[in-house]
Structures are given as C-alpha cells and as structure tokens.
C-alpha cells in the first residue's frame, strides 16, 4: 500500500486478522508483536509487564473498543518444542490477559488451517488432513493447557469450511464448589436483589474459573429482553466482591499452577430460555461479564465447558447428551449457539488432596472473517499511541473555565460544580450507561445553575489542602524529547506531602523549601503527635495506608508519599538530596499517569527483584516465598506473578483518582494484614514496598528506562544514559546505607566537598 509506505511511523507495524464468533470479536495478531521469552505463562507475564501498551493499542480506541478481544499467536512454546502442541496463543481483552477463550479458539482454528504462511505458522504443513471427515486436527497451547481443536475443511483440505462448526476438547473441567451461599453486604447490593442479604452460586472451571449464578437468584426474572444496564450495574458490584471473598478464594485454588487461581467472570444463567438449533437435548442462555464490565457476545466457550462440568457434578448431564448454549446475540439472530457434550470422564486431585470428578467437554461453534488490518502509529500521534477508553479519559473538568460565560456561583455551591462532568468511574460501564450518565449530569449542572447561579457573587474556593495555580510546565526539555504536558493555565490543584517520620527527625527542610505544599507529617513513635499511627509496624507503609484510609473521602488532587529525612541513601540525586528531587518533580506528568515512582535508577529493584514462585525461604527481606504468601493475602484471587520489580524504596506520587480506583475496603484490608501478619517489620514493609505500584494499577514489573523516567518524572531530558538502568551523573549506590556525619559537606572519607560544584566522590 503506497500510503502506508510513505508514513513516518513509530515502531513496527502490527498485522491482524479480525474474526467473530456469534458476534464476539477476535483480533488475531499474527505479526508485529514483540518476541517473548520463557514458558507460555512467562511469556504472558512478560507481555503484561513490558508490552501492555501494545495490547491497549490493539484492544482499545481508536483501533478497538471496550468489547474487543484478541489472540496473539505464539509460534514457539515449551509444548510446541516437546511436540505436544502445534502452536501457542495468548488471549487478551480490554483489561489484560485471560487463560482460556473458547470463541477465540474457534476463530483461531479456522485461521491456522487457512494460512499456509510458515512465518506465521511454522508447523502448518505438518497438520494431517482426514479425508473421511474432511477435517484437520491441531493442538493449541493456551495458558490453561493443551486444547485439541478440530477444524472442518473443504474437500481438498486446503481451507476451512465456514458452513460447519469448529470444535475443541477442553482441559479437564470441574466444579470445586456447588450451591455455595454467599452473604451480600449492604454496600454491594443492587436494587433488584430487594431485601435479600445473600445469594447461592456455583463455581466451575473450564480453563478459567467462573461463578455461575441463576438469573432469578440475582433478582431478575429472565434473560429474555433483559435490562442490560441493570445487569451491568449488578455485575460491577458483584464481580469485584466475589473476587476477594474468602470462601471463593479458598475454592478456586488450581491444583497445577497458582497463576490459574483467580475468578475470571460471572455467568448469569437462564435455563428456561434459549434458541434451539435442533438435534440437542436441551438449551439454556448465559450472560457473561468479565474484565472491565466486558460482555461476551458469544456463549463463552470456556464457560460452556465449565457449565458442562457443573451439570455433570450435579448429576444433570451424562455422556452422549448434547446441549445448546446461547448468548443474547444467538437468541436474537437464531444462529450462533454453541453445542457441547461430555467427551471424557476423569478426576483430579485438588490442593487439599481431595479427588474431584472432572470431564473433558467437546464444544463447537462457528467463526467468520470480518477483515484484515495493518496497524501503525504515526510519529506525531499522541492520542492513539497506547490506546484509550472513554472511561479512562473522563477527567475532572475545570468548570471555572467551562462556565466563564455564566455568572459565578454562590460560594456555598462551588464545591458541587467543581466536580467531574462525566460519571462512570473506574468500573467502565457499558456505553449506554455512559450516555445516560452524561445526560443526567448535564441536566443536574443546568438545574444547579438555575437554582443557585442566578445572582453573581464574589468567588471563593473551599479547599482542605494547600492549592497551587500553575502557569504552565515547570521545566522544559533541552533535548527535543517529549516533555510533560503543562497543567491548564488556570487550574487550581490541591496537593499534599505525606511524610513518615520519627520524633528525632528534622523535617524543617520541607517547610523551608516547599511552602506551597500541604504537609501531613506522621510521627510514628509519638502517640501524642497530631498525626500518628495506632501501630508502628511495616515501616512507612502503616503511615501511607493510615493517611489514605483517614482521608479517603477528602483526598487532594495529588500526593507525594515520602520519607522524612532530607538526605537519604536511596534518594535519586547525586548527593542523595531530597530538595532537588522534589523541586524537579513534574506534577503534570503525575496527573497524566496517576502513579509514578520517585526513583529512576534501576539499582535495587529493577529489572526484577523478587521471584515469588521460585525463591525459597530465606531469612532476609529478599525472600520471594514470603512475598508470595503476602501477595496472596493482600490480593486474594489475583494470580501470583513470576517476577516483581520496581525501583526501591517506597517513595512515590499518586493522584486522587488513582487511589479511588480501589474501594476503601481494599486499603483497610491492606492495613489489617500489615497489623496482623506474623512477619517482622522489615519483611512486612518489604512486601508493601514492592506492592505499591501494583496497588495503583501498574504491572508486577514496573521499570521504565532511566532515560524516560528522568525526563518525564523530573524534567531532566538532556542526560547521557549508557544503558537502560542509569544515566551519567545521577545516582551511584553508596557504600553504606548511612550517610557520613556532615554530609553533603563531608564526603565518605571525611574530605570536604561542595554540593554546589560537581559530583561527590563515589
């Protein structure tokens, strides 16, 4: 294409084939995704930690949408090398990566048969064509295990036959919990639940764990003509709650790999409705919510396997019985139902050494091509480089500028109108809900204007933290690299320094150098201090969590969480001085990112510091086994990462909106763990130190290059950076963790030095 060849693009082109299965999209990425290393699950971790911007670019707007799904072809995995599999795959969605996907497996099966490009599918020509059944079998290595796929073909076996269903044999599927009663606290309940305070559900595994709930149990009569806004609101409350519920976490411990031990989705089931395609023993309909309020348009192939296993466990299904599984889309069009039956019976041993009956389900459905794409990013394109969703883009609106043409509000009303114009929040409700929220909010703003703004009065602001009016960016780039965007000229921000200190610490340097910042200084060893903690444990983490919990409903726009002493061995400055570090800090970049680490040098923490799954017990703060246990208690239901890395040492910036992405109950749980864990202070503090970046939405490994970090976080864009982890003249690991007396005017050997001239002697 001549147009593409003439464009100045940023990075490699990514080539994709788009398909759908009962309306659920599958974007097959067959070329252009970076090479990944290690086992398939390690490749999945690497993709999440290092290349998630590419996933977002391909799944999110403007190239995708909040319902997009993807499949990244992985030509080489450990099972491919052993000869058990023909090719591997990683599954992606609007929030991250999944372990299994039935609808994408059906689409991918057709594509892998249709392609004869050995660069895409090196083992394509080794596939065997069965002339009697006119089909080809292939073995697909998915994160959950080996999936055996059968693809119908044309009589010559060269191409797939779209008129017949692709089928796959699931991994061993089982139901670890049947008729589990779960209490629903008041803050989680939705209107349709009425006065009930509990629900009954089943848990089943078909490559991922699902909570299967009868639609009537949730307070809805049927899935026929269901109100999707109402079911979405229900799912947004229920799914996060179930993911952290102790009984559910206990039940979904996968016997083979802890990275499979998380609740993926809720499936609302209506066994009384469903399109009947014929030649089946029964039908039912399901509505699947997963990821960030994503609705599966298809009947959800891996959940079909889970539902077969559940019916088998309940004695409702026998081998040879064939069932039709519908989605809302297949019911509407009278086409696209998945069919499934039990193909084999077995048993597995769970983590508690119990034998659980399992089945292999044969699941079938049809997939179709919709297009072929080559995706690029032009050099000048800032908006689409990493993709976005409208939920992520709903930022606080400066209503002072927005309503400049209106009389100014009465002071008592100002806090009301200086809020978010668009509602929705981190859960990302479906588009119809967003549109309703926008209309309702516009109506409310208009009503407030006519109620309160009719008379112009003197303008004043009510804030609980110091505020600062920004007149553009604080520092310009000297190297032509991208500089942080300035804050809008008249926007006023609330910002707070949160400091963990002891009685002996001198914190006057903060008042002398940063009068424009509000300061919340906690004195952990003084119970009479204005700000203190109930229990001095976990080092700075107890202070940070106490501040967030106590101020959750009244947080400032931006917060820097720091230690109390000006000179500290880990401060990212040649003289380990906190003053230039904070003076150079680029607040606009924090507002854009939501979370940033205040340390750029990789030494200690990056690229990887902890291996939770492989490090053995050691009596030191690097022990990954301790981290694994702590991680599972802090983040119940979340798969334990293979690697964790972030530059030390628990000093960072975060925005109010980023903190509020988690409910207050999460921070209460973190603090409760910190208080009750038998781990010593250094270990519990260490676990929290290497968890903050994940708490605030980053992957397990968060290690931007030093060059990028110094430029974007501190505005230092003209540095010489010989490698990824450090830049010349910035940070050198000191020989001791305690700086010598008289520092910075006395060096390590007692020699005089001038911090205003040159660098200290290493």
What are the average pLDDT values for consecutive 10-residue runs of the chain, which has 762 residues?
66 90 98 93 88 92 94 97 97 94 98 96 96 97 97 96 98 96 94 96 98 98 94 95 90 87 96 93 96 93 98 94 97 96 89 83 98 88 81 46 37 34 36 50 50 37 36 33 40 86 92 91 92 92 96 94 93 91 92 94 91 68 74 90 92 94 93 91 89 94 94 91 90 82 85 81 67
Rounded Cα distance between 142 and 96, Å, is 15
Pair of tokens at residue 72: 């990244």
Nearest 5°: the CA angle 333, 335, 339 is: 140
Annotated catalytic residue within 101, 234, 648, 717: 101
Domain-wise residue ranges, the chain: 12-164, 172-364, 495-714
Which burial class, exposed, middle or buried, applies to 660 when counting CB atoms under 10 A from its CB (0-12, 13-18, 19+)?
middle
Largest interatomic CA distance in the chain: 90
Nearest 5°: the CA angle 325, 331, 334 is: 100
How many angstroms from the chain centroid is the CA of residue 404?
38
Tell me if residue 101 is catalytic.
yes
Q: How many Cβ atoms from other residues are within 10 Å of residue 284's Cβ?
A: 19
- The owner of tokens 């690991």 is 733
Report the phi/psi class of residue 251: left, alpha or beta, with left for phi > 0 and alpha for psi in -120 to 50: alpha
- pLDDT score at 480: 32
The third-level CATH classification (topology) of the domain covering 12-164 is Diaminopimelate Epimerase; Chain A, domain 1 (3.10.310)
- pLDDT score at 673: 94
3-state SS of 591-640 is HHHCEEECCCCCCCCCCCCECCCCCCCCCCCCCHHHHHHHHHHHCCCCCC
- pLDDT score at 504: 92
DSSP structure class, residue 353:
S
- Cα dihedral 274, 275, 280, 281, rounded to 10, equals 30
- Cα dihedral 38, 44, 47, 48, rounded to 10, equals -130
DSSP structure class, residue 482:
P
* 12-164 and 172-364 agree in CATH topology: yes
**Count of positions (residues) in the chain:** 762
The third-level CATH classification (topology) of the domain covering 172-364 is Diaminopimelate Epimerase; Chain A, domain 1 (3.10.310)
Pair of tokens at residue 473: 């960016």
- pLDDT score at 177: 95
Beta-strand ranges (E) seen in 366-466 are: 368-375
- pLDDT score at 479: 33
Pair of tokens at residue 335: 């086409």
């Amino acid at each position: 294409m001549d147009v593409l060849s003439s464009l100045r693009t940023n990075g490699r082109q990514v080539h994709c084939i788009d398909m759908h299965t009962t309306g659920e999209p599958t974007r097959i990425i067959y070329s252009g995704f970076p090479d990944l290393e290690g086992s398939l699950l390690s490749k999945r971790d690497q993709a999440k930690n290092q290349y998630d911007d590419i996933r977002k670019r391909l799944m999110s707007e403007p190239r995708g949408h909040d319902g997009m799904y993807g499949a990244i072809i992985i030509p080489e995995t450990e099972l491919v090398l052993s000869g058990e599999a023909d090719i591997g795959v990683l599954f992606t969605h609007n929030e991250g990566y999944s372990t299994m996907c039935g609808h994408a497996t059906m689409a991918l099966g057709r594509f892998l048969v249709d392609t004869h490009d050995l660069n895409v599918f090196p083992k394509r020509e080794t596939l065997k064509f069965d002339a009697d059944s006119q089909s080809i079998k292939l073995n697909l290595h998915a994160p959950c295990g080996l999936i055996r796929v059968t693809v119908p073909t044309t009589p010559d076996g060269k191409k797939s036959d779209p008129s017949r269903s692709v089928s796959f044999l699931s991994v061993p599927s089982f139901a670890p919990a049947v008729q589990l009663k779960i209490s629903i606290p008041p803050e989680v309940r939705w209107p349709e639940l009425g006065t009930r305070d509990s629900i009954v559900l089943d848990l089943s595994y078909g490559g991922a764990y699902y909570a299967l709930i009868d639609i009537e149990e949730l307070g809805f009569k049927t899935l026929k003509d269901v109100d999707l806004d109402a079911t979405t609101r229900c799912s947004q409350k229920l799914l996060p709650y179930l993911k952290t519920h102790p009984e559910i976490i206990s039940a979904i411990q996968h016997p083979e790999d802890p990275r499979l031990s998380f609740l993926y989705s809720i499936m609302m089931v209506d066994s009384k409705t469903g399109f009947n395609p014929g030649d089946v023993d029964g039908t039912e309909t399901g509505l699947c919510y997963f990821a960030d309020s994503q609705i599966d348009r298809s009947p959800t192939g891996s959940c079909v396997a889970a539902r077969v296993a559940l019916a088998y466990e309940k004695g409702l299904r026998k081998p040879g019985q064939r069932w039709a599984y519908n989605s809302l889309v297949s019911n509407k069009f009278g086409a696209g139902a998945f069919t499934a039956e039990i193909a084999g019976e077995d048993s597995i041993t769970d983590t508690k050494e119990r034998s659980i009956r399992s089945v292999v389900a044969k699941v079938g459905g049809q997939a179709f091509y919709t297009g072929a794409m080559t995706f690029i990013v032009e050099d000048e394109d800032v908006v689409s480089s990493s993709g976005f969703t409208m939920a992520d883009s709903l930022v606080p609106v400066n209503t002072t500028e927005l309503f400049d043409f209106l009389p100014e509000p009465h002071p008592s009303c100002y806090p009301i109108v200086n809020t978010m114009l668009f509602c929705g929040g981190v859960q990302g409700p479906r588009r119809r809900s967003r549109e309703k929220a926008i209309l309702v909010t516009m109506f409310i703003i208009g009503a407030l204007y006519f109620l309160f703004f009719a008379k112009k009065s003197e303008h004043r602001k009510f804030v609980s933290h110091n505020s600062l009016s920004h007149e553009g960016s604080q520092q310009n780039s000297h190297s032509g690299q991208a500089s942080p965007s300035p804050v809008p000229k008249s926007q006023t921000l609330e910002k707070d320094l949160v400091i963990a200190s002891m009685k002996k610490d001198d914190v006057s340097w903060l008042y002398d150098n940063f009068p424009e910042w509000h300061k919340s200084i906690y004195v952990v060893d003084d119970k009479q201090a204005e700000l203190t903690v109930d229990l001095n444990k976990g080092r700075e983490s107890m202070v940070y969590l106490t501040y967030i919990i106590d101020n959750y409903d009244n947080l400032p726009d931006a917060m820097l969480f720091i230690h109390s002493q000006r000179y500290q061995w880990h401060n990212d400055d040649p003289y380990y001085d906190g003053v230039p570090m904070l003076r150079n800090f680029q607040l606009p970049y924090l507002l854009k990112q939501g979370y940033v680490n205040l340390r750029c040098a990789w030494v200690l923490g990056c690229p990887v510091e902890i291996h939770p799954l492989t490090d053995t017990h050691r009596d030191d703060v690097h022990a990954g086994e301790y981290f694994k246990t702590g991680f599972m208690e802090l983040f119940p239901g979340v798969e334990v990462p293979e690697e964790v890395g972030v530059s030390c040492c628990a000093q960072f910036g975060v925005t109010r909106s980023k903190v509020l992405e988690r409910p207050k109950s999460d921070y209460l749980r973190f603090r409760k763990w910190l208080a009750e864990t038998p781990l010593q202070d250094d270990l519990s503090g260490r676990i929290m130190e290497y968890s903050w970046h994940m708490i605030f939405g980053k992957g397990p490994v968060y290690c931007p290059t030093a060059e990028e970090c110094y430029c974007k976080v501190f505005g230092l864009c003209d540095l010489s950076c010989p490698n990824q982890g450090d830049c010349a003249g910035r940070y050198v690991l000191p020989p001791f963790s305690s700086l010598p007396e008289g520092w910075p005017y006395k060096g390590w050997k007692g020699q005089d030095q001038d911090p205003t001239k040159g660098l200290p002697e290493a």
